[in-house]
Amino acid sequence: MHDEKGIHTDFRDQMTYGEYLQLDRILSGQQRLSGHHDEMLFIVIHQVSELWMKLMLHEIQAAIQCIQNRELSRAFKMLARVSKIQSQIIQSWDVLSTLTPAEYLEFRDQLGRASGFQSYQHRMIEFALGYKTRHILDIYRKDAELYRQLHEALHAPSLYDVAIQALARAGLAIPPDVLNRDYTQPYQAHPSVEAAWLAVYRDVESYWDLYQLAEKLVDLEDWVRQWRFRHVTTVERIIGNKTGTGGSSGVQYLKKTLDHRFFPELWGLRTKL
């Protein structure tokens, strides 16, 4: 440092790194309720995951707008970034898995009914990918503004909805009832959508942008599956088959999510090519 004569050391009138990132607020948010050493790990892992999810939502929502505006190449960069973020969140399970069952039991009761099941950002990511569950909104009635945001996300077209709209704009036959479906309902596979994607994969030269879009979606869902698997494995490792703090069946509930597909036609067509 002595050789770096240009380094600034007087910040009395200038913004510092910590001020820009508001580190005082971020780093004061880890309040252990039990005082147990390992509760810090539990809090930090979940807070970091929520920060990554915030960035995922930022990118997915922007990608949806780009696809709607026919700017597919811009959307590709955003979706590629989402996949990289997902890889980071998956690796966080490796850190959390260092928490043993005995250690977790030392502070689990302090969580009350709080549970990752209630993560509203995770719910909004599911909504953005097309997995809509109206009844889940009841969890968030406590916060009127948050409930409003989730209600709006429930009624908005998903990433897959706008991808299907892009297929129709390219001249591929998608019926009106698919294009104008009720966005509040979970997406259900449709033969016309599979036929359209098959046409794209069979003529990559003519539909290069749509082909790239399809592969970006497959990448994204691939990472979601890996995240879910690591999630259920880590939870089973720490609490076994106990009921979740939020009242869910815990591991059994998580296992049910492993078979869900956000973009079913993109997986089904691989058998038919």
Angstrom CA distances, 6 to 9, 16, 19, 120, stand at: 9, 16, 21, 45
104 annotated ligand binder: yes
Nearest to 107 by CA among 250, 238, 240, 251: 238
Whether residue 263 is annotated as binding a ligand: the answer is no
First to last CA, the chain: 61
Helix, strand, coil tally for the chain in percent (to 5)? 65, 0, 35
What is the distance of C-alpha 69 from the center of its chain? Answer: 23
Which DSSP string do the residues of 171-201 spell out, in sequence order?
Answer: T----HHHHT--TTSPP---HHHHHHHHHHH
Query: Is 90 annotated as contributing to ligand binding?
Result: no
The answer to the question of whether 42 is labelled as a binding residue is yes
Q: Is 43 annotated as a binding residue?
A: yes
* 45 among annotated binding-site residues: yes
Asked if residue 133 belongs to a known ligand binding site, the reply is no
Residue type, position 47, single letter: Q
| 108 marked ligand binding residue | yes
Contact 72, 63 (CB under 8 A): no
Spatial neighbors of 259 by CB under 8 A, at least 6 apart, are: none
Q: Is 44 annotated as a binding residue?
A: yes
Known binding-site residues for heme equal: 231
Binding site, annotated residues for substrate = 42-46, 104, 108, 245
Residue set of the binding site? 42-46, 104, 108, 231, 245
